[in-house]
């Protein structure tokens, strides 16, 4: 959303006069970065890798020995590392956190998590969608639970569509989206 010519009674001011928008967007920027921590994704990648090293296919080969499994795990690992670097960069920006960079990281992180969990579930197979308290659940249902959480992150902290509008308007100087 965009606001212009907003008037607030003096008694309702939070912080300095004309400083409310900066205060609010700074908080939102930090929230967007915090929402997309790479840590849960990295841990899930490690758990699936360990599972794939220990689990045998019907032909006796280990799941990890399939080239497609190695490719999916490698891609997931590389993308999670990229997210971690983005988050470190933005977390160190303190007061100089640009809304377009925070929005870009939020979009990247939430969509990365969704894609990575899909890949990890593909590696584990049908048992990956079994919830944690059910018989036959692999990794205590972590992948199913975290996949659902990753989907929520695409609209938590502001929908990814709105984040893309912020990236375009603030970061690229494009006209504000018509809503």
Question: What's the mean pLDDT in 110-130?
Answer: 95
Both structure tokens of 104: 């870009």
Say which of 16, 31, 67, 122 is annotated catalytic.
31
Provide the angle, in degrees to the nearest 10, between the axes of the packed helices 99-124 and 142-153. 150
Residue 13 has a pLDDT of: 82
Question: What's the mean pLDDT in 151-168?
Answer: 90
Work out whether the CA dihedral 86, 147, 120, 55 comes out positive or negative.
positive
The pLDDT of residue 2 is above 90: no
Q: What is the DSSP string of 73-97?
A: HHHHHHHHHHHHHHHHHHHTTGGG-
Is 50 an active-site residue?
A: no
Q: 61 is in which domain, residue-wise? A: 10-171
Q: Does residue 110 sit within a domain? A: yes
Question: What's the mean pLDDT in 109-125?
Answer: 96
Q: Does residue 177 sit within a domain? A: no
Residue 95 has a pLDDT of: 67
- When divided into structural domains, the chain yields a total of 1
Of 178, 163, 24, the closest CA to residue 100 belongs to 163
Q: What is the CATH number of the domain that holds 123?
A: 1.20.140.10
Residue 127 has a pLDDT of: 92
């Amino acid at each position: 959303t965009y606001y212009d010519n907003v008037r607030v009674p003096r008694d309702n001011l939070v912080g300095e006069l004309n400083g409310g928008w900066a205060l609010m967007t700074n908080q939102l920027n930090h929230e967007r970065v915090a929402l997309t921590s790479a840590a849960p994704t990295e841990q899930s990648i490690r758990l699936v890798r360990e599972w794939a090293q220990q689990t045998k296919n019907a032909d006796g080969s280990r799941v990890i020995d399939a080239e497609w499994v190695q490719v999916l795990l490698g891609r997931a690992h590389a993308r999670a590392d990229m997210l971690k670097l983005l988050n470190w960069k933005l977390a160190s920006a303190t007061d100089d956190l640009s809304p377009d960079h925070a929005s870009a990281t939020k979009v990247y992180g939430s969509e990365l998590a969704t894609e990575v969990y899909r890949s990890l579930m593909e590696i584990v197979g049908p048992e990956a969608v079994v919830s944690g308290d059910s018989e036959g659940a692999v990794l205590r249902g972590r992948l199913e639970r975290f996949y659902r959480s990753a989907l929520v992150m695409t609209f938590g902290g502001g929908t990814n569509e709105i984040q893309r509008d912020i990236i375009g308007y603030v970061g690229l100087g494009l006209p504000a989206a018509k809503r």
